[in-house]
Amino acid sequence: MHVHTCCSHDVPPARKTHPAHLLEKAKSMGLDFVTFTDHDTVKAYDMLGWNRKDLTPGVEISIKDIENVGHTVHMNTFAFDREQYQDIELLAKKEKNIYSLIDYLKSNDLPYTYNHPFWFKFGEKPNIFAVPELVRHFPVIEYNAQDLREKNFFSMVLAQRYNKGMAINTDSHTGGIGKVYTVAKGDTFQEYFANISKGRSYMVMEEPGWKHFAGEIGSLIELLFSIDKGIWEEMDFSTGIGVFDRVMSALASDMPDNSTMFSKVTAGLARQVSGSRLPVFLHMLSKRSQVTMIKRMVNA
């Protein structure tokens, strides 16, 4: 219930991230319900169609409610139509009141989830104490397979404390749909989601989170290698990881014109680094102070 296509600003344009390819991949894997949750856009449904039986409309909404929260929150919502999305977009971008948006979703009986509650946008000062109050207003809380185990544990603590359902998601930006999934009964997406919200579900993840994160970074670098330099320079692309973005931009600016992405030497070194545990270790290390603050808040 949380996967991105090339319609998202932070996903490289490639065949394996195209909505049509991902839909076929998901169906071949036996997923009963398929949805794409791109960042603040529904272009995937404009491309594939809004009334397909094999596809449930979805979107990841970014909303920065300064008054009630103080930092950017990501939330998914599903099963809306084109007109409802326009209302959702207006509430998120213009009114910027997360509780007004939640009231709208409730009144229209639209499923919605609180994504990675302890993820905070790079450069923003998080209001960690706003998270428990927000959890109270969501039916389902996300277990994000790429996030730190400790952060997911604290999300589970809050979900249990406030009697909320949980769903595990890949949050893949590289075509990794279905690597983790949530099992629940339901002949329709609404029935499926209702059982998750009631805790009648199972989260399935066969590998530890750090392996998912390492795999995502490796796949991202491979995708970026395949992009032509001219396309790279035109892209408004960002992974959301500040240090990684700056390194990629610096390397891209030095690319030879006859290279499809990097020189062979640079590409080889990048693959070696991504294949090691170094990116995972650095990511975990950078979040240690956040984990300490979150632990204090949850215990309080």
> Which pLDDT score, from 0 to 100, does residue 53 have?
92
- Of 229 and 132, which is predicted with more confidence? 132
- Of 262 and 112, which is predicted with more confidence? 112
Q: What mean pLDDT is predicted for residues 263-287?
A: 60
> Which pLDDT score, from 0 to 100, does residue 135 have?
98
13-17, 51-55, 136-140: which has the highest mean pLDDT? 136-140
Domains of the chain by residue range: 15-209, 212-286
> Which pLDDT score, from 0 to 100, does residue 231 have?
53
Name the percent of the chain lying above pLDDT 70: 80
Residue 271: pLDDT over 60: no
16-20, 85-89, 215-219: the lowest-pLDDT one: 215-219
Residue 181: pLDDT over 70: yes
Tell me the three-class secondary structure of the chain, residue by residue. Answer: CCECCCCCCCCCCCHHHCHHHHHHHHHHCCCCCCCCCCECCCHHHHHHCCCCCCCCCEEEEEEECCCCCCCEEEEEEECCCHHHHHHHHHHHHHHCCHHHHHHHHHHCCCCEEECCCCCCCCCCCCCHHHHHHHHCCCCEEEEECCCCHHHHHHHHHHHHHCCCEEEEECCECCCCCCCEEEECCCCCHHHHHHHHHCCCCEEEECCCHHHHHHHHHHHHHHHHHCCCHHHHHHCCCCCCCHHHHHHHHHHHHCCCCCCCCCCHHHHHHHHHHHHCCHHHHHHHHHCHHHHHHHHHHHHC
pLDDT tens readout for residues 96-151: 999 999 999 999 999 999 999 999 998 899 999 999 999 999 999 999 998 989 99
The CATH code of the domain at 15-209 is 3.20.20.140
> Which pLDDT score, from 0 to 100, does residue 258 have?
45
Q: What mean pLDDT is predicted for residues 21-42?
A: 96
Q: What mean pLDDT is predicted for residues 216-240?
A: 65
Residue 289: pLDDT over 50: yes
Per-residue pLDDT band at 267 (split at 50, 70, 90): low
Residue 10: pLDDT over 70: yes
pLDDT tens readout for residues 234-253: 555 555 555 555 555 555 55
Mean pLDDT of all residues belonging to the chain: 86
> Which pLDDT score, from 0 to 100, does residue 261 have?
47
Residue 18: pLDDT over 80: yes
Residue 279: pLDDT over 60: yes
